[in-house]
């Protein structure tokens, strides 16, 4: 049995094997066999936050029993990058647990995951096999939604930084400034750029009472733990100058300053603009930024770095440039996807251009009615439908807000149209439950900045 073949293959990627379909087919294969082996797996953060999953595997004597390891390894990979954690627990076939241990020690992609989680959570990454599985524990808290007073909101992207001046929830000034932070080795480049944007926004306010920001990466108590934005910075400079950067900026400006992952601000912006909860925000920019607001309107302690979470189980899926793993979200829901798909269309777009420039060319051709340009967006939309179906198996999800530079222009509507087709055709039970949204023009321009600006309460102590 060939697992994962979609009913609606992406026009430019016939080899795509969506995780959502592959897992469904795997479960069907187990049911057909009449035999199964149970398993339980858990992932825990140092604060006690714990997610657990349980299921069935093929019997050891089944001719396709080799699929068991792929299923479990990809499941744990998704748990790592959606929930986050530094301690994993396995109760199931011991050889599967041993293979997981070996992957984190011997495989470069496994070592990337191990080292990343250890850095985020400040303790060695560890696995325990054959012991009692801890019980699930979800930690969540309210976040942002403070719109009073004179505020600044900023977002630090890989190709530009955005800033806005906000008075009682209304944007009075906004600006985008191109920059190239990824490979800069001097922390002063980042500091001076951020401060430049803040000072420009401050000039449009009668007074400054709070600053909120977002950026790709993992932030704990306003300190970046791991962030692609600073990937060119040495470890010593990161510790000494980047880690305290935002705390020092807040103190020097004498206002509360909060910064969190851009995906969380995306989800907060979605929840605020829709006035709904159980929202997954997916921003298709330089990479894929995701965040989640639970059914009670709270932000969880989950990691939500779905750029690194697998959505394609094809062995020939594209590899992520940072982790080296294949089939992960960044290659499907970002400018990276656009850059990867354009050569398959034959469009006359210079391959030497950067990703933002390639996207601009694609948007121009789309506006002219190019069917080849449309095929790129239809492919991404198909990815999205199958991807959201997979995300829905981990998140309690009623609304998916899709935004970011890739969704700008006529192509954004095509992406949502194709995603909705996938849910209607392949996952009718989810089609009735999940609504796709795009922000209106006001929120598309300023929603992220307003949500970021709303993070700190006025009068909040800067720590």
Sketch the domain layout of the chain as residue ranges: 19-138, 139-463
pLDDT at 383 over 80: yes
Mean pLDDT over the full length of the chain: 93
- Adjacent-strand bridge partners of 328: 310
Cα angle: 424, vertex 426, 427; to 5 degrees: 70
pLDDT at 427 over 80: yes
**Angle in degrees, 0-180, between the axes of helices 262-274 and 441-453, rounded to the nearest 10:** 120
Q: Sign of the C-alpha dihedral, residues 443, 449, 450, 454?
A: positive
pLDDT at 58 over 80: yes
pLDDT at 461 over 60: no
Where are the strands (E) in 93-190, listed by range?
Answer: 126-129, 140-141, 150-156, 160-167, 170-178
CB 169 within 8 A of CB 450: yes
Label residue 445 by pLDDT band (50, 70, 90): low
Choose among 355, 303, 304, 306: nearest CA to 329: 306
Choose among 268, 272, 460, 288: nearest CA to 280: 268
Question: What is the layout of strands, in order, in the sheet containing 126-129?
Answer: 50-57, 37-44, 87-91, 126-129
φ, ψ for residue 178 (rounded to 5)?
-65, 140
Question: What is the layout of strands, in order, in the sheet containing 399-403?
Answer: 140-141, 299-300, 288-293, 279-284, 399-403, 435-437
What's the confidence (pLDDT) of residue 220?
83
- Region 29-50 average pLDDT: 96
- Region 223-234 average pLDDT: 90
| CA 324 to chain CA centroid, nearest Å | 17
Cα–Cα distance for residue pair 428/420, rounded to 1 Å: 10
What's the confidence (pLDDT) of residue 441?
65
Structure tokens at 311: 């959505």
Label residue 226 by pLDDT band (50, 70, 90): confident
Choose among 239, 237, 244: nearest CA to 223: 244
Choose among 282, 285, 245: nearest CA to 264: 282
Cα–Cα distance for residue pair 216/218, rounded to 1 Å: 7
DSSP β-ladder status, 170-178 and 210-215: unpaired
Cα–Cα distance for residue pair 336/161, rounded to 1 Å: 18
What's the confidence (pLDDT) of residue 322?
85
139-463 has which fold? Nucleotidyltransferase; domain 5 (3.30.420)
The pTM (predicted TM-score) of the whole model is 0.88
| Burial (0-12, 13-18, 19+ Cβ within 10 Å), 254 | exposed
- Adjacent-strand bridge partners of 171: 166
Cα–Cα distance for residue pair 163/173, rounded to 1 Å: 8
What's the confidence (pLDDT) of residue 434?
97
Structure tokens at 326: 């294949």
- Region 387-403 average pLDDT: 95
User: Would you call 239 helix, strand, or coil by DSSP?
Assistant: helix
68-95 residue pLDDT tens: 999 999 999 999 999 999 999 999 999 9
300-342 residue pLDDT tens: 889 999 999 999 999 999 999 889 999 999 999 999 999 999 9
């Amino acid at each position: 049995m060939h697992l994962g073949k979609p009913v609606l293959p992406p026009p430019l990627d016939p080899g795509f094997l969506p995780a959502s379909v592959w897992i469904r087919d795997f479960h069907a294969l187990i049911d057909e066999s009449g035999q199964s082996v149970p398993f339980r797996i858990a992932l825990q953060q140092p604060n006690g936050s714990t997610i657990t999953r349980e299921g069935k595997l093929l019997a050891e004597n089944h001719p396709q029993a080799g699929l068991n390891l792929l299923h479990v390894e990809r499941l744990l990979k998704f748990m790592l990058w959606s929930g986050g954690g530094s301690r994993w627990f396995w109760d199931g076939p011991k050889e599967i647990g041993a293979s997981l241990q070996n992957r984190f020690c011997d495989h470069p992609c496994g070592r990337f995951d191990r080292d990343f989680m250890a850095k985020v959570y400040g303790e060695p990454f560890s696995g325990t096999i054959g012991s009692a599985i801890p019980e699930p524990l979800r930690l969540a808290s309210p976040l942002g939604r403070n719109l009073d007073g004179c505020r600044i909101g900023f977002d630090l992207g890989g190709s530009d930084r955005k800033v806005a001046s906000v008075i009682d929830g209304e944007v009075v000034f906004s600006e985008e400034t191109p920059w190239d932070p990824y490979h800069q080795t001097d922390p002063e480049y980042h500091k001076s750029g951020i401060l430049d944007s803040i000072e420009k926004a401050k000039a449009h306010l009668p007074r400054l009472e709070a600053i909120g920001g977002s950026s790709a990466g993992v932030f704990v108590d306003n300190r970046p733990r791991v962030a692609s934005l600073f990937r060119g910075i040495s470890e010593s400079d990161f510790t000494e100058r980047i880690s305290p950067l935002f705390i020092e900026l807040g103190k020097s400006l004498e206002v509360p300053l909060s910064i969190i992952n851009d995906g969380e601000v995306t989800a907060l912006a979605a929840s605020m603009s829709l006035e709904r909860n159980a929202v997954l925000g997916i921003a298709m920019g330089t990479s894929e930024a995701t965040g989640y607001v639970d059914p009670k309107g709270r932000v969880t302690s989950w990691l939500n770095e779905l750029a690194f979470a697998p959505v394609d189980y094809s062995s020939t899926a594209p590899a992520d440039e940072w982790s080296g793993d294949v089939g992960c979200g960044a290659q499907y829901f970002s400018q990276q996807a656009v850059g990867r798909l354009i050569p398959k269309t034959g469009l006359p777009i210079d391959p030497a251009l950067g990703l933002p420039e390639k996207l601009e060319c694609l948007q121009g051709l789309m506006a002219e009615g190019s069917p080849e340009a449309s095929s790129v967006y239809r492919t991404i939309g198909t990815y999205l439908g199958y991807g959201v179906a997979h995300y829905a198996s981990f998140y309690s999800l009623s609304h998916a807000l899709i935004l970011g530079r890739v969704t700008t222009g006529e192509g954004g509507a095509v992406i949502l149209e194709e995603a909705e087709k996938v849910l209607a055709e392949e996952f009718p039970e989810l089609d009735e439950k999940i609504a796709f949204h795009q922000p209106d023009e006001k929120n598309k321009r300023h929603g992220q900045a307003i949500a970021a600006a709303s993070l700190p309460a006025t009068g909040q102590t800067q720590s």
